[in-house]
Amino acid sequence: MDKGGAPSEGGTSAISSNTYGYVRVSTRDQNEDRQSIALREARVPEGNIYMDKQSGKDFNRPQYKRLVKRLRQDDLLYIKSIDRLGRNYEEIQNQWRILTKEKGVDIVVLDMPLLDTRRGKDLMGTFLSDIVLQVLSFVAENERDNIRQRQAEGIAAAKARGVRFGRPPKPLPENYMSAYRQWKSGAISGAAAARKCGMPLSTFRYRAVLYEKDGLT
């Protein structure tokens, strides 16, 4: 599988070397195995599988760009699902047009057998493929919007319950409360109190705000 270097030119005896696959996972924590296994089952040569591990927010994806440059007319590209080409309706449609119309590449979407441009190259077949593509592109974008909305609602609900996000603050030094009280009473400056605690002034004040707000130390 290609993650950086150019894939080897060699294919397998059972399938032409002009067959390719593309894998995209949205973050570096997602596992690409499901997509990779599907491509291998479709007998895509290992060296012809390109993979990006980054956000699909835009199309600044190095391996996808390398793949598109390598593709030639009548080459065959396998993808697991239509949203591997983009994260919204417009982007999916645009990439499909570039690949099929401008470069003359055939595409097989494994999760949707109707989207196989090798079949039905007559007017009716093309018409049906275009309809399916438009519907699935819309569904992919709509699902992404729904996921965002559910995430936002979940975060808002958690915050309302007092859940804090991000890494927990480091434990305060033992003399923090003493320095805090001296600072609050005006006996020493904030900078002096921060130095006593061995922390930046901004951190000292931030922890003071947290303490004053809800007693967290």
- What does the pLDDT look like over 133-179, one tens digit per residue? 777 666 666 666 665 676 766 767 666 766 666 666 678 888 998 99
Domain boundaries, the chain: 19-144, 176-214
Q: Which position among 17, 26, 55, 81 bears the catalytic label? A: 26
CA-nearest of 41, 35, 40 to 56 is: 35
pTM: 0.55
User: How many CA atoms does the CB half-sphere of 72 hold within 13 Å?
Assistant: 2
Task: Indicate if the pLDDT at residue 2 is higher than 50.
Answer: yes
* Whole-number pLDDT of residue 129: 65
Contacts of 3 (CB under 8 A, 6+ apart): 51, 53, 63
Reply yes or no on whether 13 is catalytic: no
> Does residue 15 register a pLDDT over 60?
no
Q: Report pLDDT digits (tens) over 181-197.
A: 999 999 999 999 999 99
Going by the DSSP 8-state scheme, the letter that residue 82 receives in this structure is G
CB 23 within 8 A of CB 39: yes
Is the distance from CB of 117 to CB of 74 less than 8 angstroms? no
Q: Would you state the structure tokens that stand for residue 46, as one six-digit string?
A: 């290992």
Q: Rounded distance, CA 32 to CA 84, Å?
A: 12
Q: Which residues are 79's β-sheet partners?
A: 22, 109
Q: Would you state the pLDDT for residue 91?
A: 84
Report the DSSP beta bridge partners of residue 125.
Answer: none
Q: Is the pLDDT of residue 56 over 80?
A: no
Of the candidates 9, 56, 7, the residue with the CA atom closest to the CA atom of residue 30: 56
Both tokens of 117, joined, read 């441009």
Torsion 60-131-99-83 (CA) sign: positive
CATH 3.40.50.1390 holds for 19-144: yes
